[in-house]
Amino acid sequence: MRSENEIDFLLKSIDQSDKIFFVVSPDFKILAANKQTIEKFNNDFIGRLCHEVIYDCIKECDDCPAVKVIKTRKPTFGDKLVDNENSKMPLCSYFYPIISGEDIDAVAVIELDRPLQEETEEKFSRSNAFQRNLIMSSVDGVIAADIKGKIIMFNDAASEISGTSIDEALETMDIRKLYPGDGAREIMQKLRSDEYGGKGKLKSSKIDIIRKDGEKIPINLNASIVYEGGKEVASIGFFHDMREELKMKSELEKTQVQLLQAEKMSSLGKLSAGVAHQLNNPLGGIILYTKLILEDYDLDDLVKDDLNRILHDAQRCRDTVKELLEFARQTSHNIKAQDINEAIGRTLFLLENQTLFQNIDIIKNFDKGLPKVPVDIQQINHVLMNIILNAAQAMDGDGKLETETVFDSRNEKVRIRISDTGPGMTDIVLRQIFDPFFTTKEEGEGTGLGLSMVYGIIEDHGGSITADSKLGEGTSFVIELPLNRKEE
């Protein structure tokens, strides 16, 4: 307990202050005031309602700081105009509760110097502006929503990712529309669980969001629940757009596949050359002596049939050996600037009158501004012939064949696309089509070296070839040839 002497000094210090100080009850009656206050508001100040005396209002103000203190039991600042005899004087004040146990006995009001409050408010304002700039400048999308799903924070990156303007998001957007299906509910379930980074947190979750135009965007999401007084009041998420990273990952995987394929081709090319030369001589002997026997001896028809079968199979072996030698001999030696449109047109002219092409609709989409490309035209003709024939055979002579050329000025490349409407391929087959000796044709109809040779020729030109196919949707081959190859 304070002594009477202490209480006396406290009262004198309050009474002699030149600042307004008074106390109001929870029903807004003025209970006490210092000398300065009473002098400003006349002697009948005590016992009256504060809003009547200070603001000339018949009831408490809607934004009354005293009401806020009574509701929250926490101090707050107030800034009002006070009627004086001569002028309106601004009152910068601090309101705080006087509490006994669980009850608020009264609210104390003390006047503050204007510069002190302005400095405090300026600091708050600067702090809020800095935080806002941090959020708006974030490279990741930052989105916050209240417990009902209404957007309360939406930065520039979120606008770019979602395709929704900031104003539109803040005014009309519901956070649940951002996720496909029950995505929003699933996110909240994870946030309320302890299994995904702790209760109220979600770390590095891979999800899809829906843009305004309907496009699905892969996102890496970090999110948390905002609590106030132990209750959920909002949620905030940081949305990292994964499209560029996934694109780079895909391109890296494609490059790795091409490097492995190139290494495989190089090793097999050396092996093929040796095997082919070893087989050539005995095969030549088998074919020669079989022909001599058929020509020089009068044989039974059954024996002739057997010898003809030997000759046929030996010739098949010889053709395979020939392709092996071609495969092993993939070196560009006559590089000159060539017109690719003309090369494709010439190949199609040679083929389109063949029986296999009678029911195939051939579409040509050539870039008229296509620059000439440094290539070995004989090898490129071989590539074009192989791919176009494969397409016609896949369609069984009935369908649509489309050839397209495009100049990629940014990367200084010419792109060739050859597409068919055939039956397409499974992913397993697609991964193996450039492998030597892999074929889907019937036995005896192909050696499986055609596309391997095509791959080697394009790679030797410093280019690339890829295939895209789905069952029932046809197949497309895309060839890219660089323009920076020197003539040889």
* Residue-wise pLDDT tens digits, 285-319: 888 888 888 888 888 888 888 888 888 888 878 77
Tell which of 241, 273, 289 closes a domain.
Answer: 241
- What number is the average pLDDT over the span 19-39? 86
Burial 41-50 (b: 16+ CB within 10 A, else e): beeebbeebb
Compute the distance between CA of residue 389 and CA of residue 347 in angstroms, rounded to an integer. 10
- Is residue 229 over pLDDT 50? yes
Instruction: Over range 160-177, report the average pLDDT.
Output: 89
Strand partners, 466: 478
Count of beta carbons in the 10 Å neighbourhood of residue 223: 23
The domain boundary residue, chosen from 87, 118, 149: 118
DSSP 94: E
Domain hosting residue 212, numbered range: 135-241
Residue from 178, 116, 114, 102 nearest 144 by CA? 178
Q: Which long-range contacts (CB under 8 A, 24 or more apart) does 428-434 make?
A: 430/467, 430/468, 430/469, 433/467, 434/261, 434/465
Mind giving me the DSSP string for 349-402? HHHTTSGGGTEEEEEEE--TTPPPEEE-HHHHHHHHHHHHHHHHHHTTTEEEEE
- What CATH number has the domain bearing residue 405? 3.30.565.10
Per-residue pLDDT, averaged over 209-236, amounts to: 88
Contacts of 68 (CB under 8 A, 6+ apart): 76, 95
Return d(Cα 467, Cα 424) in angstroms, integer. Answer: 11
Q: pLDDT value at position 129?
A: 67
**What's the whole-number mean pLDDT along residues 94-119?**
78
420 and 488 share one domain: yes
Cα–Cα separations (whole angstroms), residue 52 to 26, 59, 74, 85, 473: 15, 7, 24, 15, 82
Question: Mean pLDDT lowest for which of 198-207, 311-320, 371-380?
Answer: 311-320
**Strand pairing class (141-146; 151-154):** antiparallel
Give a yes or no: residue 100 inside a domain.
yes
Domain membership of residue 4 (yes or no) is: no
**What is the model's pLDDT at position 376?**
86
Tell me which range, 9-13, 41-45, 276-280, is most confidently predicted by mean pLDDT.
9-13
**Which secondary structure element, helix H or strand E, spans residue 121, and what is its range?**
helix 114-137
Instruction: Tell me which of 80 and 207 has the higher pLDDT.
Output: 207
118, 152, 182: which is the final residue of a domain?
Answer: 118
Same structural domain for residues 212 and 250?
A: no
Count CA within 13 A, CB hemisphere, residue 41.
28
Specify whether 358 is located in the same domain as 278. Answer: no
Same domain, 233 and 250: no
Q: Are residues 227 and 254 in the same domain?
A: no
Higher pLDDT, 94 or 332: 94
Q: Looking at residue 86, what is its pLDDT? A: 38
**The 464-469 sheet, strands edge to edge:** 359-365, 398-408, 413-420, 475-482, 464-469
Q: What is the percent of the chain where pLDDT is above 90? A: 10
322: tokens are: 């020939």
Tell me: do 41 and 172 sit in the same domain. Answer: no
What pLDDT sits at residue 82? Answer: 44
Are 231 and 258 in a shared domain?
A: no
User: How far from each other are the two terminal CA atoms of the chain, in whole angstroms?
Assistant: 105
Domain assignment present for 5: no
Task: Identify the band that residue 366 occupies on the pLDDT scale cut at 50, 70 and 90.
Answer: very high
Look at residue 126 and tell me if it is in a domain. Answer: no
Give one DSSP letter per residue of 449-467, joined into a string: -HHHHHHHHHHHTT-EEEE
> In the predicted model, what is the mean pLDDT of the chain?
80
Which residue in the block uniquely carries the two structure tokens 């926490």?
Answer: 74
Q: Two tokens at 81?
A: 């105009």
Contacts of 222 (CB under 8 A, 6+ apart): 202, 203, 204, 205, 237, 238, 240
Structure confidence at residue 356 as a pLDDT band (50, 70, 90): confident
CA dist 349 and 361 (Å) reads 13
Q: How many domains does the chain have?
A: 4
pLDDT tens-digit series, residues 113-153: 655 555 555 655 565 666 677 777 788 888 888 888 898 88
Give the CATH number for residue 290.
1.10.287
